[in-house]
Chain A
């Protein structure tokens, strides 16, 4: 391939190596740019950058930065949507953090995060590994079956599972017949501590396939020769897994953890349709608490404060995951 309009640039930081700067303007090597023309070029570039970036920055500011600033301000007020917002400082935060309903929702959220990070990711990885290493026959079949739930809308999934466990659902009716007890109901939903468990199970069932596919895609990037040579050197399956594959997967595990944490903290649709957060707030999560206060009770200030708490928690947990990632990354390096 000829390079008529590109310039071979010497990378001065790495002697002996060069790289292409595509699209760079061809210059005659003999002509050195003057200080003045260099400044003109810089100013022109800055202008180009500004023109090119401005629309994107404006849109980003309008739909991301402005709402965040507005939301932060709103969280310090009491406002029902009408009239002037009343300044209450951190009053909304104090109210939220002492509200047992919020604290129970937060506890449920941490359980969702837990089942996502320590359930979906490990199980997804194990399934991906089994399929990648062809430890089962008809691995394509399993791959499709495990991935299938993620292709269904969470609302549909929630309705389906609700139909199974509801007081008139398949599971309940079946047990009533088997036990000859017409008053039997799946009473775990009536237990404050454990009502969230069936939902955790459904979340695990639904999203594990997504992580499995991500892991399979990344496992397939590993050079098979590396594994073959490891085998020839006498490495066992465990050694291949822990000494070669997991170290290569650390960054992917971190990325999936970020997905799992952020996705879990804003989890809403599935739980809202499944139980609506009830009975008696037993299965409520923070996002449902925010929704009810904002859109049913019109406490915009309180809703804004809850969303700020969700952001802070998300960032905090992601930084924790980053810390863990760095520890393992440095260890494997």
Chain B
């Protein structure tokens, strides 16, 4: 027994020793490497990446290889994180004043606490003269004085009503022009065993971001949203309640996926790709998935539309909701050569080279690039959709994350039948009036 114990202790000690020695060696090597290459610039980067997504990682590796080829003197020390873990770390680093040199940022409120802290550099001096090379929405102001904290990689339409035209034809239906027409199709679609509108709202944000925002543009419009920010307009106004009523009507008429508020994000996509649903409401980013998930035959009859006309339209008709995409920003402490090196990455990623690489993999870059002839049919459809569809604000890009913690569960309750559209509007208005910084 004692012998076994001694062997165990010896083995553990040996493993620990080797780990320590290896660690020391690695540290010494990296220090030596940094010392030898005189003008080599090493930058730390907090990267938003799902490392379990093979296609995402493959695109990332291509980008990195190309960047290293172009900039052999810049070394990136990358720390990839995803979802809440990323946001928690970014926030903690910002609070501790230990932000990395480069970080992934959102144009709106998602990383608003960090971008608004004064710890992120305004990219306008570097971007000057290149503005016209980007889609107009992409270079819109992100800060109170027109600052641009991150260079958007893409422009995102948060509402697309993907339609299976083949199923519609088989059921003897055509794409509806109005809400009433759509609701009348519901019974026919359900009787045939299909889901009328595939949507998943387990996370709560989908209904707000991918649907309510577009509806609010129809019934209220951009100006009304601007007024709601300052308190000139209220969420109890008919303009906003009318948008809520559309969702309520659809829920009451069983138009959405059954158990919509329980479904994890991705369930609706599966239902649509496997042709269990006629319509599918989600963001334009879903095209990346459809490029790989749909067969060539399917791609010929899947179309991208906006939701049909709704009653009491005061904003733009046949509109969607659009927002500038995410991108990289840099620490405000960076100066001189280090700041220039950070910009090289930012420009590489969202500029012509990185955009071309990402476009080849199904992304719709914010940088203006001609659509390649050989690009996927779904990408061509999305490019056409973005170019020809008027757009309004996405609500969660204008109002705080915390306010979404009130609106989104209220939308879930409304679709579950526990709250009326008027109550949702009243609850949201009450919270906004008491807490939203723009109303104070």
Give A residues with C-beta under 8 Å from B: 80-82, 101, 162, 166-168, 172, 182-187, 189-190, 192, 276, 278-281, 292, 295-299
B82 → A minimal CB distance (Å): 15
Q: Considering the complex of A and B, which 6 residue pairs feature the smallest CB-CB distances, nearest first?
A: A185-B259, A167-B259, A279-B261, A297-B402, A280-B412, A183-B258
Which B residues are in CB contact (< 8 Å) with A182? Answer: 193, 258
Q: Other CB < 8 Å A-B pairs besides A81-B95, A167-B258, A279-B201, 7 of them?
A: A80-B113, A81-B113, A190-B416, A278-B409, A280-B413, A297-B402, A299-B402
Q: CA A62 – CA B163 in complex, angstroms?
A: 59
- CB–CB B258/A184 < 8 A: yes
A185 touches B409 (CB 8 A): no
Q: Complex: how many Å from CA A172 to CA B257?
A: 14
Q: Does B12 count as interface, using CB distance less than 8 angstroms?
A: no
**B262–A185 CB distance below 8 A:** yes
Query: Are A192 and B258 in contact (CB-based, < 8 A)?
Result: no
Given A279-B202, A297-B401, is A190 in contact with B94 using a C-beta cutoff of 8 Å?
A: no
Interface residues of B in 228-260 (CB under 8 A from A): 254, 257-259
Residues of chain A with a CB closer than 8 A to B400's CB:
297
A280: which of B91, B263, B409 is its contact (CB, 8 Å)?
Answer: B409
Q: Are B413 and A292 in contact (CB under 8 A)?
A: no
Contact among B87, B258, B261 for A278, CB-based, below 8 A = B261
Contacts of A299 in B (CB 8 A): 402
Q: List 7 A-B contacts (CB under 8 A).
A: A278-B202, A279-B416, A280-B416, A295-B84, A296-B84, A296-B87, A297-B402
Which of A82, A101, A184 is B94 in contact with, Cβ under 8 Å?
A82
Q: Any chain A CB within 8 A of the CB of B136?
A: no
Distance in angstroms from B346 CB to nearest chain A CB is 24
* A165-B426 Cα distance, complex, nearest whole Å: 33
Instruction: Please determine whether B405 and A279 come into contact, CB atoms closer than 8 angstroms.
Output: no
- Residues 58-85 of chain B, each 1 if its beta carbon lies under 8 Å from chain A, else 0: 0000000000000000000000000010
Note all chain A residues with C-beta closer than 8 A to B440: none
- CB within 8 Å of A: which of B248-282? 254, 257-259, 261-264, 267, 270
Nearest A residue to B261 by beta-carbon distance? A279
Distance (Å) between the CB of B91 and the closest chain A CB? 6
Q: Is the CB of A295 within 8 A of B405?
A: no
Bound form: Cα–Cα A159–B316 in Å = 43
Most buried by A among B91, B262, B263, B418: B262
A183 and B260 CA atoms in complex are apart in Å by 11
- Find out whether the CB atom of A280 lies under 8 angstroms from the CB atom of B261: yes
We find that the number of chain B residues with CB closer than 8 angstroms to chain A is: 34
Complex Cα–Cα for A279 and B264 (A): 11
Known: A82-B94, A166-B264. A292 touches B405 (CB 8 A): yes
Q: Given the complex, which residues of A lie within 8 Å of B401, measured CB to CB?
A: 296-297
Q: Is there contact, CB below 8 Å, between B258 and A297?
A: no
Contact yes or no, A82 B113, CB < 8 A = yes
How far is it, in angstroms, between the C-alpha of A235 and the C-alpha of B254 when the chains are bound? 64
Shortest distance in angstroms between A91's beta carbon and chain B's nearest beta carbon? 12
Say yes or no: A297 contacts B405, CB within 8 Å.
Answer: yes
Residues of B participating in the A interface, judged by any CB pair closer than 8 Å: 84, 87-88, 91, 94-95, 113, 117, 190, 193, 201-204, 254, 257-259, 261-264, 267, 270, 400-402, 405, 409-410, 412-413, 416, 418
Question: Quick one: given A276-B202, A280-B412, are A167 and B91 in contact (CB under 8 Å)?
Answer: no
Residue on A nearest B259 in the bound complex, by CB: A185
Residues of A within 8 A of B87 (CB): 295-296
Chain A CB count within 10 A is highest, among B88, B193, B201, B402, for B402
Chain A residues near B201 (CB, 8 Å)? 279
Nearest-CB residue, chain A, relative to B410: A280
Whether the pair A82, B95 counts as a contact (CB closer than 8 A) is yes
The answer on a CB contact under 8 Å between B203 and A276 is yes
CB distance A190 to B261 under 8 Å?
yes
Of A279, A281, A292, A297, the residue contacting B262 (CB under 8 A) is A279
Instruction: Verify A296–B405 contact, CB threshold 8 A.
Output: yes
For the complex, what is the distance from the CA of A162 to the CA of B266, rounded to whole Å?
A: 14
Write out the residue numbers on chain A whose beta carbons fall within 8 Å of the beta carbon of B91. Answer: 81, 295, 298
A138 to B88 CA separation, bound complex (whole angstroms): 49
Let me know if A167 and B95 touch, CB within 8 A.
no
Bound-complex Cα distance A145 to B84 (A)? 35
A167 touches B416 (CB 8 A): no
Which of A82, A162, A189, A292 has the most CB atoms of chain B within a 10 A radius of its CB? A82
Cβ A168 vs Cβ B413 within 8 A: no
State whether B402 touches A281 (Cβ < 8 A): no
B204 in complex: contacting residue of A278, A295, A298, CB < 8 Å = A278
Contacts of A185 in B (CB 8 A): 258-259, 262
Contacts of B412 in A (CB 8 A): 278-280
- Residues in A whose Cβ lies below 8 Å from that of B117: 82
Distance from B400 Cβ to chain A, minimum over Cβ atoms (Å): 8
Bound CA–CA A281/B411 (angstroms): 12
How distant is the Cα of A167 from the Cα of B94 in the complex, in angstroms?
39
On whether the beta carbons of B94 and A168 are closer than 8 Å, the reply is no
A295 contacts across to B, CB distance below 8 A: 84, 87-88, 91
Question: How many whole Å from A297's CB to the nearest CB in chain B?
Answer: 4
Question: Min CB distance, A291 to chain B, in Å?
Answer: 9
Q: B263 CB to closest chain A CB, in angstroms?
A: 5
Nearest Cβ in chain A — how far from B89, in angstroms?
Answer: 10
Q: How far is the CA of A122 from the CA of B113 in the complex (A)?
A: 48
> In the complex, are the beta carbons of B257 and A167 less than 8 A apart?
yes
B114 to chain A, nearest CB (A): 9
Contact of A192 among B88, B254, B264, B418 (CB under 8 A): B418
Q: Which of A81, A168, A187, A192 contacts B267 (CB 8 A)?
A: A168
Bound CA–CA A81/B95 (angstroms): 6
A82 to B95 Cα, complex, angstroms: 6
Complex contact A183–B263 (CB within 8 A): no
